[in-house]
Amino acid sequence: MYEVELKCHADHDALRERLDARATRRGTVTQTDTYYDAPHRDFAETDEAVRVRVEQEPNDEPTAKLTYKGPLLDAESKTREEHETAVADEEAARGLLDGLGFEPAATVEKERTAYALDGYTVTLDLVTGLGEFVEIETEVETEAGIPDARDRARDLLDGLGVDTDETIRTSYLGLLLATERDVQ
């Protein structure tokens, strides 16, 4: 499975109005993503990621997922192979990674409001320490489907008034680490 994603800085107030008029609002969640360094290779060099995500919806119990993200596959988007599974016990997942020699590298926290729009998920992300972003994503089965999915995502964002000439291919983790390096 391939996740085809575009990300841009965005003014949430203006974009929320357009999304409310054109899309179906799914709800808001808080996500805390802990990313891990691998003992056998440098994920910063290979452009991969392993994370444990804890997601909390209002009035619900938190849920956890374990995710692997492969290297970027497309020069114009954040498209990559992705494998994700729910885990029943967050601490057991962390223990498994620890036992294999993986070490926590950084944590990214965000509030995410999701919308469904023409087969895509559009999210308004408020990322702690980084600000406001919009992401649009969908999944395709094969690499051959990537260009069409990416172009359609770009068209949908353009239709929402988002400047897609300024897409960001760097992950929130990468942006956060770069910000921390700049501060030091």
Report the distance separating Cα 119 and Cα 138, nearest Å: 7
Q: Is residue 180 scored above 80 in pLDDT?
A: no
- Domain of 173 in residue numbering reads as 2-183
Number of domains in the chain: 1
User: From the centroid of its chain, how far is CA 51?
Assistant: 11
Q: What pLDDT, on the 0 to 100 scale, is given for residue 184?
A: 59
State pTM to two decimals.
Answer: 0.89
Report the distance separating Cα 137 and Cα 79, nearest Å: 9
Please report which confidence band the pLDDT of residue 183 belongs to, taking 50, 70 and 90 as the band edges. low
Catalytic-labelled residue, pool 35, 36, 115, 120: 35
The 10s digit of each residue's pLDDT in 40-95 is 999 989 999 999 999 999 889 999 999 999 998 888 888 899 999 999 999 999 99
Please report which confidence band the pLDDT of residue 125 belongs to, taking 50, 70 and 90 as the band edges. very high
Q: Is residue 102 scored above 70 in pLDDT?
A: yes
Report the distance separating Cα 184 and Cα 181, nearest Å: 5
35 is catalytic: yes
Name the residue type at position 82. Answer: E
Q: Is residue 1 scored above 90 in pLDDT?
A: no
Q: What pLDDT, on the 0 to 100 scale, is given for residue 74?
A: 83
The 10s digit of each residue's pLDDT in 3-39 is 999 999 999 999 999 999 999 999 999 999 999 999 9
177: domain CATH number? Answer: 2.40.320.10
Averaged pLDDT for residues 107-117: 98
